[in-house]
Amino acid sequence: MPKYVAEYTYLPDTAALRDEHRPAHRLWLHDGHEAGIVLAVGAFADGSGALVIVNADDAEAATEVLAHDPFALVGAIDETRVREWNCLYGPFA
């Protein structure tokens, strides 16, 4: 199955909203990981966003999966960029 990398961009004015909804966001990520949809996730050290790697049939399906992230549902993500990722080596190859 193809892999897609989503880059979330956060702005400082949505920090409180992310803090409020972080437990639901992390549960959604956990459940997605357990289901084999979310392969890896992590925030950027500078707080500007996060990276999410997902399994999906195509970019539209990946975008639909990410639309159900609680952060997305409450408007805590300022921008999402989704691109297909061709992993050559490593645990996701």
Total tally of structural domains belonging to the chain: 1
Tell me whether residue 93 is in a domain. no
37-59: pLDDT as tens digits: 999 999 999 999 999 999 999 99
Band (91; pLDDT cuts 50, 70, 90): confident
- Domain span at 79: 3-85
Single-letter amino acid code for the residue at 64: E
65-80: pLDDT as tens digits: 999 999 999 999 999 9
Strands 38-43 and 3-9: unpaired
- The angle subtended at Cα 42 by Cα 40 and Cα 43, nearest 5°, is 160
| 51: Cβ contacts below 8 Å, ≥ 6 apart | 5, 6, 7, 8, 40, 41, 42, 44
Tell me whether residue 92 is in a domain. no
Q: What is the pLDDT of residue 16?
A: 96
- The neighbouring-strand residues paired with 6 are 52, 82
Dist. CA 71–CA 20, nearest whole Å: 10
15-24: pLDDT as tens digits: 999 999 999 9
Domain with residue 80: its CATH number is 3.30.70.1060
Tell me whether residue 90 is in a domain. no
Q: What is the pLDDT of residue 17?
A: 97
Tell me whether residue 91 is in a domain. no
